[in-house]
């Protein structure tokens, strides 16, 4: 019986998990997603080709790996079909993509509800990706959701669509919804095309583990967007932390091996909500420009700030990390000095990340010397310029977790170990 390893983001998403999964995937037989949907935008760059994955796990470039979309995800069938077509067009064998029968289906009325909810929140809008993720999870919890298992039963499927669409009709004034017939027709077509990919998700994954296959579990978003432990309500609809892999895939904690946390060398977030280390000045703009910090799903400029070790320690606890991968260290070349947030205060009291949204929160900043050398050609952590080495060592120390890899550029080879 093998154990599954997990790779998760430990900030607000966009840490660069996709390329880390791509790198590790050669050692695995299955790469599995456990939560989220096409709100995620995982990018992998291979030579001149840029792969933008939304729901298909980032192991696609290992031709041996099966790609499993687990039961904890919410999947837009049309979006998945488009993604499969895009992958097939560049020669990728998409028969390797399997979907759990327990995964939930995202339909047009979910996206419409997402937009309507955001409008109703006005100035307190969450800044969602507008993909209907929250409403699809709300349906799951309300027990009105449609699963991929329902695809095999056309009458059940049509009844559920009818019920859900009409229940929402009055709530969604101002939104144009496709008719019941249109939704049912398109979903039936998608169901037919996807039927060969749908598997009994529990039997599938446990069968792999019992046969000693190596399974890599890929997180989406990041710990600080977790629906229970992130900056609620400015969070996504799913449990993004490592424990979510257990519930999202139907495996127990004893089935987990390593838990690798991916952390960007500074912080970014898209959408609203607390961001204690945010830089609203020219330095924040410089980070955005140097790091190309614009959303992959929505194109929105990302909010940028210093590395936040208080948030990092919180995420290490939530995930039980065994090691760290630091991404985008090269982006920090050229900054004269670099701040790291080491703690939060409310008045005279030191407070934990749970207080991130409290009015009057102050951050404690530590300054580290910057470096001017480009890092793109460095291949070992020991060969980094001394100031960059000290920066990585400080992250390691503040998060009490060893760093096993640092990314120093966008190419697959630009990694220091
Ligand atoms: P939702 O997941 O579309 O409901 O959006 C909820 C919050 O999560 C918003 O702040 C989004 O910007 C954020 N979010 C969702 N997916 C991602 C992601 O893949 N990267 C970064 N932020 C994300």
- The predicted pLDDT at position 300 comes to 87
Q: What whole-number distance in Å separates Cα of residue 78 and Cα of residue 194?
A: 10
Pocket test for ligand 1, best of 16, 17, 225, 237 (most atoms within 8 A of CB): 225
Q: What whole-number distance in Å separates Cα of residue 41 and Cα of residue 18?
A: 8
Concerning whether 42 is annotated as a catalytic residue, the answer is yes
- The predicted pLDDT at position 166 comes to 84
One DSSP character per residue, 190-256 reads HHHHHGGGEE-HHHHHHHHHHTT--EEEEEEEEGGG-TTTSSTTSS-SS--SHHHHHHHHT--GGGE
Q: How far is the CA of 130 from the centre of ligand 1 (A)?
A: 9
Q: Is the pLDDT of residue 243 over 80?
A: yes
Q: What whole-number distance in Å separates Cα of residue 274 and Cα of residue 76?
A: 29
Give which of 324, 332, 326 is closest to 388, Cα–Cα.
Answer: 332
- The predicted pLDDT at position 43 comes to 80
Please list every protein residue whose CB sits less than 6 Å from any atom of ligand 1: 12-14, 39-41, 126-129, 131, 133-134, 220-221, 225, 234, 236-237, 270-271
Pocket test for ligand 1, best of 129, 230, 233, 291 (most atoms within 8 A of CB): 129
Give per-residue pLDDT as tens, 351-377.
Answer: 999 999 999 999 999 999 999 999 999
115-131: average pLDDT: 94
Q: Is the pLDDT of residue 48 over 90?
A: no
Q: What whole-number distance in Å separates Cα of residue 279 and Cα of residue 205?
A: 43
- The predicted pLDDT at position 84 comes to 96
Lowest model confidence (mean pLDDT) among 83-92, 129-138, 208-217, 293-302 = 293-302
Give which of 164, 105, 166 is closest to 136, Cα–Cα.
Answer: 105
Lowest model confidence (mean pLDDT) among 96-105, 287-296, 312-321 = 287-296
- Residue owning the nearest CA to atom 2 of ligand 1: 236
- pTM summary value: 0.95
Give per-residue pLDDT as tens, 56-98.
Answer: 999 998 999 999 999 999 999 999 999 999 999 988 999 999 9
Q: Do 147 and 105 form a contact (C-beta atoms < 8 A)?
A: yes
- Residue owning the nearest CA to atom 8 of ligand 1: 236
- The predicted pLDDT at position 45 comes to 73
**Average pLDDT over the chain, rounded to an integer:** 95
Q: Do 378 and 332 form a contact (C-beta atoms < 8 A)?
A: no
258-271: average pLDDT: 97
- Residue owning the nearest CA to atom 11 of ligand 1: 128
Q: How far is the CA of 147 from the centre of ligand 1 (A)?
A: 22
Q: Is the pLDDT of residue 47 over 80?
A: no
* Structure-token pair, residue 180: 């019941």
Pocket test for ligand 1, best of 236, 239, 273, 295 (most atoms within 8 A of CB): 236
pLDDT tier at 246, thresholds 50, 70, 90: very high
- The predicted pLDDT at position 272 comes to 95
What is the number of the ligand 1 atom nearest to the C-alpha of 298? 12
103-123: average pLDDT: 95
Backbone φ and ψ for 275, nearest 5 degrees, come out as -155, 80
Q: Is the pLDDT of residue 17 over 90?
A: yes
Q: Which residues of 364-388 are buried (b: 16+ CB within 10 A; e: fewer)?
A: eeeebebbeeebeebeebeebbebb
What is the number of the ligand 1 atom nearest to the C-alpha of 133? 4
Q: How far is the CA of 294 from the centre of ligand 1 (A)?
A: 13
Q: Per the residue annotation, which of 5, 14, 101, 114 is the catalytic one?
A: 14
What is the number of the ligand 1 atom nearest to the C-alpha of 130? 3
- The predicted pLDDT at position 61 comes to 87
Give 314's contacts (C-beta < 8 A, 6+ positions apart).
223, 224, 352, 353, 354
* Structure-token pair, residue 301: 């400029």
- The predicted pLDDT at position 100 comes to 98
Q: Per the residue annotation, which of 5, 38, 42, 150 is the catalytic one?
A: 42
Q: How far is the CA of 382 from the centre of ligand 1 (A)?
A: 35
- The predicted pLDDT at position 263 comes to 98
Give per-residue pLDDT as tens, 139-197.
Answer: 999 999 999 999 888 888 889 988 888 888 777 778 888 888 888 888 888 989 999 99
295-317: average pLDDT: 93
Q: How far is the CA of 114 from the centre of ligand 1 (A)?
A: 12
- The predicted pLDDT at position 299 comes to 83
Q: How far is the CA of 133 from the centre of ligand 1 (A)?
A: 9
Q: Per DSSP, what are the bridge partners of residue 405?
A: 325
Concerning whether 308 is annotated as a catalytic residue, the answer is no
Give 62's contacts (C-beta < 8 A, 6+ positions apart).
25, 26, 28, 31
Q: How far is the CA of 92 from the centre of ligand 1 (A)?
A: 27
Pocket test for ligand 1, best of 271, 278, 294, 296 (most atoms within 8 A of CB): 271
243 against 52, higher pLDDT: 243
* Structure-token pair, residue 79: 């979006």
């Amino acid at each position: 019986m093998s154990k599954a390893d997990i790779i998760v983001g430990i900030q607000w998403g966009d840490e660069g998990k996709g390329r880390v999964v791509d790198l590790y995937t050669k050692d695995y037989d299955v790469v599995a997603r456990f939560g989220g949907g096409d709100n995620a935008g995982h990018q992998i760059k291979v030579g001149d080709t840029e792969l933008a994955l939304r729901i298909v796990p980032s192991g696609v470039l290992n031709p041996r790996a099966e790609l499993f979309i687990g039961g904890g995800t919410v999947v837009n069938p049309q979006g998945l079909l488009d993604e499969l077509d895009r992958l097939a067009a560049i020669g990728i064998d998409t028969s390797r993509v399997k979907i759990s029968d327990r995964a939930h289906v995202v339909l047009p009325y979910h996206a419409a509800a997402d937009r309507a909810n955001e409008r109703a929140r006005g100035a307190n809008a969450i800044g969602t990706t507008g993909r209907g993720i929250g409403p699809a999870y709300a349906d799951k919890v309300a027990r009105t959701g449609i699963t991929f298992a329902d695809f095999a039963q056309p009458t059940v499927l049509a009844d559920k669509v009818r019920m859900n669409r009409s229940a929402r009709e009055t709530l969604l004034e101002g939104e144009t919804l496709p008719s019941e017939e249109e939704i049912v027709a398109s979903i039936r077509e998608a169901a037919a095309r996807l039927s060969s990919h749908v598997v009994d998700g529990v039997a599938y994954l446990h069968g792999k583990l019992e046969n000693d296959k190596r399974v890599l579990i890929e997180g989406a978003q990041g710990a600080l967007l977790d629906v229970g432990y992130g900056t609620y309500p400015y969070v996504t609809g799913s449990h993004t932390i490592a424990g979510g892999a257990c519930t999202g895939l139907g495996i127990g904690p004893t089935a987990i091996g390593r838990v690798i946390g991916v952390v960007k060398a500074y912080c970014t977030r898209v959408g609203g909500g607390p961001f204690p280390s945010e830089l609203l000045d020219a330095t924040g703009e410089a980070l955005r420009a140097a790091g190309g910090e614009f959303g992959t799903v929505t194109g929105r400029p990302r909010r940028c700030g210093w590395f936040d070790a208080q948030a990092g320690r919180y995420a290490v606890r939530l995930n039980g990390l065994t090691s760290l991968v630091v991404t985008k260290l090269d982006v920090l070349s050229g900054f004269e000095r670099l701040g790291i947030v080491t703690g939060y205060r409310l008045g005279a009291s030191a407070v934990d990340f749970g207080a991130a949204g409290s009015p009057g929160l102050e951050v404690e900043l530590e300054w580290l010397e910057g470096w001017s050398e480009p890092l793109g050609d460095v291949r070992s952590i020991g060969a980094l310029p001394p100031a960059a080495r000290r920066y990585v060592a400080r992250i390691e120390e503040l998060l009490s977790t060893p760093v096993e890899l640092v990314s120093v550029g966008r190419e697959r080879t630009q990694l220091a170990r």
